[in-house]
């Protein structure tokens, strides 16, 4: 593709990152989604299942499947929320805490490797551009514009 679009670069980069994390996670019989879930759960106080999906940007069916797998592997346990009988809190087991630390280490390795290969200015610009894209999307400021594309 001669002139790559912004969304093409974002998608291709995210797919490469996801593939990298999934390849690493496979060494531990896990997935990137599992690692991300481990990092999204509160280490000590549990996390309401209802807040996990939005926190991870995951659809309910995918999240349910991921949590079921994590529970079967002994990474998490579910307990009734003592403050809301309708709700469930998800807690990390000791095994889950170990795997959470492994996930954290891998995320930090990735971040460190990127920082070793790009300047602070480049990273700052990348973060600013990503933030601006997220703002435009959150503000629904992309497709409701009356401007014509040239």
| Nearest-angstrom CA–CA distance, 21 and 96 | 18
pTM (two decimals): 0.82
Instruction: Tell me the percentage of the chain whose pLDDT exceeds 90.
Output: 68
Instruction: Tell me the percentage of the chain whose pLDDT exceeds 70.
Output: 95
pLDDT of residue 146: 66
Task: Give me the torsion for CA of 53, 55, 57, 61, rounded to 10°.
Answer: -10
pLDDT tens for each residue of 90-131: 999 999 999 999 999 999 999 999 999 999 999 999 999 999
pLDDT of residue 60: 85
CA angle (42 as vertex; 37, 45 as ends), nearest 5: 140
pLDDT tens for each residue of 48-59: 988 888 888 888
pLDDT surpassing 60 at residue 82:
yes
CA 33 to chain centre: 7
| Nearest-angstrom CA–CA distance, 113 and 93 | 30
What is the DSSP code (8-state) at residue 93? -
Average pLDDT of the chain, as a whole number? 91
| Nearest-angstrom CA–CA distance, 85 and 69 | 24
């Amino acid at each position: 593709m001669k002139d790559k679009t912004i969304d093409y670069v974002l998608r291709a980069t995210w797919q490469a990152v996801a593939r990298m994390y999934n390849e690493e996670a496979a060494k531990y019989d896990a997935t990137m989604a599992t690692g991300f879930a481990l990092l999204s759960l509160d280490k000590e106080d549990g996390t309401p299942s209802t807040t996990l999906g939005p926190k991870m940007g995951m659809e309910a069916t995918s999240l349910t499947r991921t949590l079921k797998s994590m529970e079967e592997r002994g990474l998490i346990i579910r307990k009734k929320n003592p403050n809301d009988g309708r709700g469930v809190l998800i807690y990390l087991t000791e095994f889950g805490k170990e795997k959470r630390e492994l996930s954290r280490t891998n995320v930090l390795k990735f971040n460190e490797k990127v920082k070793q290969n790009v300047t602070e200015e480049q990273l700052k610009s990348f973060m600013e551009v990503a933030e601006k894209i997220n703002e435009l999307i959150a503000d629904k400021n992309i497709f409701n514009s009356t401007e014509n594309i040239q």
